[in-house]
Amino acid sequence: MKTSISFIPSLESAFTGNSEISKFYFTSGNLKKGCQDFDGAIADYSKAIETTSNNARIYYNRGVVKSQTKDYWGAITDFTHAIDGKHNNAKAYFRRGLVKVEVQNFKEAILDFITVAEIEPDKSMAYFNRISSKYTV
C-alpha cells in the first residue's frame, strides 16, 4: 500500500548544512521505502548522496530499493559503492550477490557469497547461496 508523506517537503527548509540535509533525505527515503513509495525513496536517497557521497548506508538502502524495483544493474552499482565505502560490509556483499544471481552472473555472485562467509563466518545463508549459485554454473 503506497501512502503519501505530504509533510516531508515542508520540513526540508528547517535543515541547514550538508550533514543535516543528508540525514533528512536519508530518513525521508527510509519512510518512503516503508510506505512502498519506491520512486520517492530512490529520489530522496539520491538527494542524500548528492550532499554526502561517502555514506555506505545510503548507497546500501538505495540499492535495496533498486533491487525491489528490478533495477538490478543500478542495485549492483549502489551495493558496490556501499562496499567501496565500507569494505567489510557483509550485508552489501550479500545483497549484491543475490542481485547478481538475478542477472545470472553466478560466478561473481559466488565470489560475493565467499566474501560474506569470510567477513561473517556464522552467516549460513552465504554458504547456502554460494552452493546454490555454484550448482547453477
**CATH assignment at residue 61:** 1.25.40.10
Say how many domains are in the chain: 1
What domain range includes position 125?
15-136
In a domain, 21, yes or no: yes
The tens digit of pLDDT for each residue in 59-118 reads 999 999 999 999 999 999 999 999 997 889 999 999 999 999 999 999 999 899 889 888
In a domain, 10, yes or no: no
CB 28 within 8 A of CB 10: no
The per-residue pLDDT for 90 is: 92
The tens digit of pLDDT for each residue in 24-73 reads 999 999 999 999 999 999 999 999 999 986 799 999 999 999 999 999 99
In a domain, 6, yes or no: no
Mark out the alpha helices in 1-137 (DSSP H runs): 8-11, 18-34, 38-51, 56-68, 72-85, 90-102, 106-119, 124-136
Among residues 104, 49, 102, the alpha carbon closest in space to that of 78 is found at: 49
CB 38 within 8 A of CB 65: yes
In a domain, 129, yes or no: yes
